[in-house]
Amino acid sequence: MPHLGSGDAWSTAPPDAHAFPLPLDPLMKPVILAALSSLLGLTPSSCGQLEPAPARQGSAGPAVSVNVAALNLQGVGDVVWDVEVVNGADPAQVVWQRRLASSGYGDGAGSASYVGPCDADPAAAENTVKVWVVGVYSAAVTGVGTFNSGSTADGGAVTGSPMPFQNP
């Protein structure tokens, strides 16, 4: 399995954050899930038409569903994630970015689910999902800050009690 850390082909994150770009090609989906399920429980889905569902946030057309989950977090009250979807254009264009907290979009103990738009244009349809673990917190955070590619600097500051964790 390739190393999923800062500085290699899978990661474009600064050294203090880890990104996991995931090609959303349906043929690659099983390989990606197998590689990441032991790390995060991350379940991406390909860009395409989804049936109408009440859980869809901000997307009326083709969409991608992102589910992230930490596998074993004793004593954790919240996990904050930064999620970004870029299209397959050259150069790639950001489709959307969002900061998610498990207390707002999941179980409050690490997992989160979010459905957002993707770019289904045939020239740019291979979307990539990047996920950063921003922080692990002992209780629900009171402020998640803004998307900042996994960083808590500047506008990315999170209001909560951080717990030590080792980013994969």
Q: Kindly state the average pLDDT of the residues 109-119.
A: 84
Count the Cβ atoms, other than its own, within 10 Å of residue 113.
Answer: 17
User: Is this prediction's pTM over 0.75?
Assistant: no
Q: Assess whether pLDDT exceeds 70 at residue 14.
A: no
Q: Kindly state the average pLDDT of the residues 84-96.
A: 91
How far is it, in rounded angstroms, from Cα 7 to Cα 159?
29
Q: What is the pLDDT of residue 61?
A: 65
Q: Kindly state the average pLDDT of the residues 59-81.
A: 74
Long-range contacts of 89-96 (CB under 8 A, 24+ apart): 89/119, 89/123, 89/124, 92/128, 93/119, 93/124, 95/119, 95/127, 96/58
Nearest to 41 by CA among 95, 97, 89, 81: 81
Q: Assess whether pLDDT exceeds 80 at residue 161.
A: yes
Question: Percent of the chain, pLDDT > 70?
Answer: 58
Q: What is the pLDDT of residue 127?
A: 86
Q: What is the pLDDT of residue 93?
A: 92
Tell me the C-alpha to C-alpha distance, in Å, between residue 87 and each of 17, 27, 41, 82, 93. 21, 17, 23, 17, 6
